[in-house]
């Protein structure tokens, strides 16, 4: 457990793995109920190509996990009763339009929580994702994959990575938690 005390192998001070959770929930972190959206663009066109490849092998939508549009997010959170709890947004910062769209939505916007800059780092974001009640990510991202695998190893459900619209236009999970470990879908990320 890394509490931010000591130095790393290069002699630099280590950071607290719970810095993200602490910055958002403070004393209430033990009982916090929240979702995490991990928005990962993956450097534009390469990310789009990688997600399309995952879509081809898994059946998920070719762009939804990159765009994270409000209807996509609500299709996950509403049935779970999670639209009354905070939604923590973690991202690579490459596509600010994703956050702008979510913030502009009258139902999602008030729930969005952004990790303060001083607490925003890979370890803090990782812990936020792993410990969330619901995790929504991009299956083309190795960071999303790592979070989903860690959550599954800890026995946590509610990972949403592989979704597509059905014939009635409703969002559905098309490939379950096992897909994150399937080499035919994830390739070297499995």
Task: Report the chain's mean pLDDT, rounded to a whole number.
Answer: 91
Average pLDDT over residues 46-55: 81
User: Which SS3 state, helix, strand or coil, does residue 171 take?
Assistant: strand
pLDDT at residue 1 greater than cutoff 70: no
Phi, psi values for residue 142, rounded to 5°: -70, -30
If one counts every other C-beta atom within 10 angstroms of the C-beta of residue 3, the result is 11
Q: How far is 47 from 91, CA to CA, in rounded Å?
A: 14
Range among 31-45, 54-68, 158-172 rated most confident: 158-172
> What integer is the mean pLDDT of 127-131?
97
Q: Spell out the residues 6+ positions from residue 173 whose beta carbon is closer than 8 angstroms to its own.
A: 160, 162, 163
Query: Can you give the pTM of this predicted structure?
Result: 0.90
Which stretches of the chain are DSSP H helices? 19-25, 45-58, 64-67, 70-77, 96-104, 122-131, 142-153, 183-186
Per-range mean pLDDT, top range of 50-54, 106-110, 138-142: 106-110
Percent of the chain at pLDDT > 90 equals 63
Query: Of the candidates 64, 148, 75, which has an alpha carbon nearest to the alpha carbon of residue 108?
Result: 75
Question: Tokens at residue 32, please?
Answer: 């916090």
pLDDT at 43: 66
| DSSP H/E element including 135 | strand 134-136
Average pLDDT of the residues in 178-183: 86
**In 3-state terms, what secondary structure has residue 3?**
strand
Grade residue 32 by pLDDT with cuts at 50, 70 and 90.
Answer: very high
């Amino acid at each position: 457990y890394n509490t931010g005390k000591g130095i790393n192998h290069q002699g630099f001070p280590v950071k607290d793995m719970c810095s993200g959770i602490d910055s958002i929930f403070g004393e209430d972190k033990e009982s916090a109920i929240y979702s995490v959206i991990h928005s990962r663009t993956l450097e534009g066109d390469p990310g789009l190509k990688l997600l399309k490849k995952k879509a081809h092998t898994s059946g998920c939508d070719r762009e939804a996990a990159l765009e994270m549009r409000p209807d996509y997010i609500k299709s996950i959170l509403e049935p779970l009763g999670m639209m009354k709890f905070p939604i923590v947004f973690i991202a690579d910062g490459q596509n600010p339009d994703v956050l702008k769209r979510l913030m502009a939505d009258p139902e999602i916007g008030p729930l969005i929580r952004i990790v303060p800059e001083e607490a925003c780092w890979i370890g803090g974001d990782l812990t936020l994702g792993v410990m969330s009640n619901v995790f929504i990510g991009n299956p083309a991202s190795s960071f999303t994959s790592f979070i989903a695998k860690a959550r599954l190893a800890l026995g946590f459900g509610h990972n949403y990575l592989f979704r597509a619209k059905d014939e009635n236009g409703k969002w559905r999970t098309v490939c379950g938690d096992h897909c994150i470990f399937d080499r035919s879908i994830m390739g070297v990320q499995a």
